[in-house]
Structure formats: C-alpha cells, structure tokens
Amino acid sequence: MSIPLLTSVVLVYLTIVAFLTVKAYRGTHSAADYMLAGREIHPFVMAMSYGATFVSTSAIIGFGGAAAVFGMSVLWLTVLAIIVGIFIAFVFFGRRTRMMGLNLNAHTFPEFLGRRFDSRGIQGLTALLIFTAMPLYASVVLMGGGKFISEVLAIDYNVALFFLTLIVALYVIMGGLKAVMYTDAFQGTIMFSGLMVLLVATYYKLGGITVAHQRLTDMREIAVKIFGAKGHTGWTGFPEFGSEYWLVVVTTIILGVGIGVLAQPQLIVRFMTVKSNRELNRAVLIGGIFILAAVGVPFIVGPLSNVYFYSENPETAGKIALLAADKNVGRIIPMYISAAMPQWFTALFMITMLSAAMSTLSSQFHAMGTSLGRDIYEKALGCNGNTVLLTRIAILFAITLSYFLAWGLPHFFEGGTAIIARGTAIFFGICAAAFLPIYFGAIYFKGMTKLSAYAGFITGTLVSFFWLFFIHLKESKPLLLCKTLFGVDSLAMGTKWALVDPLVIALPAAIVATLLFNVFGKKMPQQHVEHCFHQVK
C-alpha cells in the first residue's frame, strides 16, 4: 500500500469533512438547529444522509462477509430495504412523522412519542432503550471500520479503532445534526462511487457478469460439501427451506433488518429535518438508487469473492472465502479488497469504508446523546440546563461507551467472528419489536391509548431480551446467563426454535399487546389528538 497516496487521499477527505463541520457549527444557534438541523435540509442531503446512516460498515463488511457464506440469497434484503426502508418509510411514515413532529415541536424520536401520548414516562423509557441498546450497534460499526483500516494498513486494530472514534467524535460534538447530515451527504456520495467501482472491477476481474456468476454457480458442490448439513444449496441458490441457514437468512438477515429499518430512531428523526412533504417525495428516488448500490453491491461481491479466493489468488488457491479469512467473516471483504484490487482503489475504498463508518456512527452518537441529554435528563427527570451543552456531554459519554464495547467484543464473541452483522441485526430487531407498534399507532390511529403504547413497548422489549438471553443460540450461548441459571446454552436447545430470530416472536407479541390493551386504556383528550393530527394526511 502506497503510504503517500493514502495520506494524500485521507487528508483531502478530512479537510472536506472539517469544512462541512465548521459550516454546520457556524449555522447552529438553537436546540432545533443542533437536533433537527433547523428543519430546512435539502432533499438530496436528507436522502443521502438517511441512506448513509442506514448503510454502515456493518452492511458492507459484516453483511458482505455474511453473503460470502450464505450466498446471493441475502440479496432479498436489498429488495426489502428499497421497498420497506425507502418507499414505505418515506411515503407512509415520513410524511406523517414530519407534520406531526412539527405540530408537537418534537426534536427527537422519544420526544415525538412522549408528546404524542402526553407522557414523560414513554419519552424516558424509549430514550433509555435507545441509550442502552444502541451502543452495541455503534460498537460493531466501529469494529467494521477498525478492522478494515487495520487490515489495509497492517496496523494494530486498537490503534485504528482509537483514531476512527476520535475523528467522528470531534465533528458530531461540534456541529450537531447539521454537521452529521452535511458530512453524511458527502460521505454517501463517496460510498456510492466507491461501491460502483468495486462492482465493475470485480466483474472485470472474474471475466464479466455472465462468466463470473456461472463460475460461482459451478462451485455448488463445494458449498454443499462444506455447508450442506446446514442447508446450503450453493452460492447462487436459496438455502433449503426450514434449514439452519434458511432460518438465519430469512428471520435474522432479511426480516430482522428489512423490517427493523422502519423503527430506527436515528433514521426516523431525518423525516423531521425537511420543511415539506415535497422534499420527502423528491428524496425517495435518490434514496432508492443509493440503497440499491450500497446494499446490493456488497451482497454480490461477497459471494463472488469465493471465486477469486478459490481460483484467482495463488496464496489462497483451493480455499473458499471463509477459509481464506481463517473463518473470520469480518475479514473477508477487507482481505478481498487488499488482495484483488490495485493500490489506488484500496485507497479509494478505505475512504469509502471511513465514510460508511463515520456516517452511521455520527448519527448513532447523536441519537444516543440526545436520548440521554434531552429526553432522559432534561425531560423525563425534569432537570434544567443548557440543552445543547447537555447533549454534547451525553454524546461524549455515548462515544466512550461504544468505543470500549468495540474494543472488548472481539475477545468476547470468539474473536469477533460474525459479530458485526449479528450486532446490527440484534439492534434492528429490538427496535422493530419495541418501537414499530407504538410508532405506527402514533401516526395512524387517533384512538390509540397511552396504556396500549406502554403495553406494546414493554412487551416488545421484554420478549426481545428474553429471546436473546435464553432462546436464540447465537446470543444466549456467549452471554452465558442461560447456562448459569439453567445449565444449558439455550432453553430451546436441540430444536429449531433456537435458530429463530427474536423479531419473529417479539414483534407479533408487541402487536397483540398493543391491540389488546387499547381496549382497556383511557382515550386521549380529543383536543390533544386533534392538535397532533392537524394537517396530517
């Protein structure tokens, strides 16, 4: 790797990020500026910020590596991400959220729910879940960026992790959501360009689109020999129905992330940053194209890396991607980039990975900071103080917590294998179960009661954590609580229930609880409801 080349590219990149941060800092004068970017963000900036926040290093490094194992069946997540994460999110959720948020003068997602149901308790509880659960997601994004940087530069992972965290911390704390969204738009543009170049270069290296896919299809017997017992049918096929791999691909990857995107606090707040529904409509196409490339490309390159490692790279000849990476899923994409691509592209893709990590991390840190500083300390607990200063302190605390998790998780979860993709799916699933019923009801049903809001949120949260700690083997085994209390790694050990993602159980349970308790709850005052839904359509 050419150090002068890489240094030059990184310096240019950081200079632009610094310029955008200063610009945002100078334009931040109020809590609305710091938390909602003044509600006047351009649709291109909003769409790219939304997409860049959604697609992180966990999608490119983590899920790209997972795709190298499971195959192109994970491309169904791309389909769901565009239909659900962009079209349904913007058209059916975004418009109502923007207008209702304006009516309620809400600055954060927990504040939006709290004011909708006139409950500081709901605001505090939702903020508490965000602040306690999101550090896991942020830490795996940090891990993805740190692993790529350490692999490409051949430096210690902990050194790469420290400097990545430091850079993101500086501009999030300084400029608030304006800095986050301005830099997101810039970083999203880099991500789109870098991934498209990667796709073209991969097909070129493997003989073209048709040849590359045929070569991967011809490796079916190799896949079945290695993974056949778990339901693998080849890297261009779908796992056998009901098998272990089918349950992972469908319930955890496709449904867990594809549905969970609707209830991501750091994404929902984006809807409240534009000044009209017209801007949201214009953002749909931009966001859809971005997600198609940013999610689709890693899910194509990941499986095709098996062809490269097995047939094209002399150092790994006869090894599929997972074995070439010493069974560490998180190393597959970084290794492929380092081995298969020229030096200039490695430098470009390093910036792409920095962009992916920084864009998502900045939004996560901002969401955690506002949850702790504004929603919990200032609103739920009723303490007074400078909102912007409190939020900056809370962001610093959230960054520190996420950093130490990113440092410790690789040691805790078997060297970090697959934890990047798994941590993302866990957080998306928890958000879907806890937030989706209350969020959907808040913007669509005038008759939804405060009791049903509490019931759905609490049920979704508790069922999710119960399933994670005691049933879902991927988490219950390393967490050790089930083993300590009951002497087994999972209460469903030996059955396929141990492979079913928590979302599949927790979300229906939360929906049922929401509907059931709505019958017994006291209706919200009519005047309050009419104020919430004023001009909402």
In CATH terms, 3-532 corresponds, of 1.20.1730.10, 3.40.50.620, 3.30.1330.10, 3.90.79.10, to: 1.20.1730.10
- Between residues 236 and 142, which one has the greater pLDDT? 236
Nearest by Cα to 5 from 337, 331, 342: 342
Q: Specify the pLDDT at position 417.
A: 42
Tokens 């590359």 -> residue: 212
CA distance 106 to 32: 9
What is the mean predicted confidence (pLDDT) over 509-518?
97
Q: Specify the pLDDT at position 30.
A: 64
| Helices first, then strands: H and E counts in the chain | 26, 0
Residue 425 has pLDDT above 90, yes or no: no
Tokens 């020999």 -> residue: 225
- What pTM does this model have? 0.88
CA distance 266 to 340: 35
Q: Specify the pLDDT at position 230.
A: 94
Greatest Cα-to-Cα distance within the chain, rounded to the nearest angstrom: 72
Q: Specify the pLDDT at position 3.
A: 66
Nearest by Cα to 53 from 362, 313, 476, 350: 362
Q: Specify the pLDDT at position 420.
A: 65
Residue 63's pLDDT band, with cuts at 50, 70 and 90, is confident
Average predicted confidence (pLDDT) for the chain: 87
CA distance 97 to 95: 6
pLDDT digits 0-9 by tens, 377-420:
888 888 877 767 777 788 888 888 888 888 876 655 544 445 66
Crossing angle for the helix pair 277-307 and 332-340, nearest 10 degrees? 70
Structure tokens at 5: 């080349």
Nearest by Cα to 44 from 364, 267, 276, 284: 284
pLDDT digits 0-9 by tens, 242-257:
999 999 999 999 998 8
Low-confidence winner among 295-309, 337-351, 427-441 (lowest mean pLDDT): 337-351
pLDDT digits 0-9 by tens, 11-33:
888 788 878 777 777 776 666 66
The number of residues in the chain equals: 537
What is the mean predicted confidence (pLDDT) over 110-129?
95
- With a pLDDT cut of 70, the percent of the chain lying above it is 92
Residue 37's pLDDT band, with cuts at 50, 70 and 90, is low
Amino acid at 3: I
CA distance 226 to 223: 5
pLDDT digits 0-9 by tens, 125-145:
999 999 988 888 888 788 877
Nearest by Cα to 274 from 31, 16, 42: 42
pLDDT digits 0-9 by tens, 341-376:
887 787 777 788 778 777 777 778 888 888 888 888
